[in-house]
Amino acid sequence: MRPQPFRQKATILRERVIFAAFISILFALAFNGAVFLIDQGISILSGSRGWGETLIAAILLLAGVFVIAITGLLVVSALQTLRLAWMMEKDGQVTSGKVLQKVTLGEGKNRSCRIIYAFKEDIHFEERVSEAGYQNLNVDDLVRIRFLAGHPDIARLEH
């Protein structure tokens, strides 16, 4: 039985689900804070007696809208990457690629092992691998790669 050159790592889908959940929680908290800011801005605006209070109310209202807009964009982005990860798991195609280079960054506990691989001749990727995977792979070795046919810029090593 041939040993696996890579330790099993979280798939892109699992990583994206966790990321989307984190962003959703962040959005819920930010939305709550933004509603508070907007509510305070409206309260101050309705009882304002001068331009100073009106200015403070406008700043609170704009801050609330800004928080909702930014966190909303983060949620949309997270959901788009989650959709691509789901497509990778469901529709991803497996092909072979070639290891072009092995790279290590840092020293000791901070050491990071990476390989640079290519498929379809002109598409190159860099991916972090375990120490054992790094030792088991050599330049010019063939590796299995999963990629999206419609998005060749989205790929990962297949384990």
Written in H, E and C, the secondary structure of 124-138 is EEEEEECHHHHHHCC
User: 144: phi > 0 → left, psi -120 to 50 → alpha, else beta; which?
Assistant: beta
Model pLDDT for residues 40-99, shown as the tens digit of each residue = 999 988 887 888 888 999 999 999 999 999 999 988 888 888 888 888 888 888 888 899
Backbone angles phi, psi at 2, to 5 degrees: -75, 130
User: What angle separates helix 51-91 from helix 12-46, to the nearest 10 degrees?
Assistant: 160
Residue 127 forms beta bridges with which residues?
115
**What CATH number does domain 92-157 carry, 3.30.43.10, 3.40.50.150, 3.40.190.10, 2.40.50.660?**
2.40.50.660
Which 8-state DSSP code applies to residue 6? Answer: S
- pLDDT number for residue 11: 55
Sketch the domain layout of the chain as residue ranges: 12-90, 92-157
Assessment of whether the complete model's pTM goes beyond 0.75: no
- pLDDT number for residue 33: 92
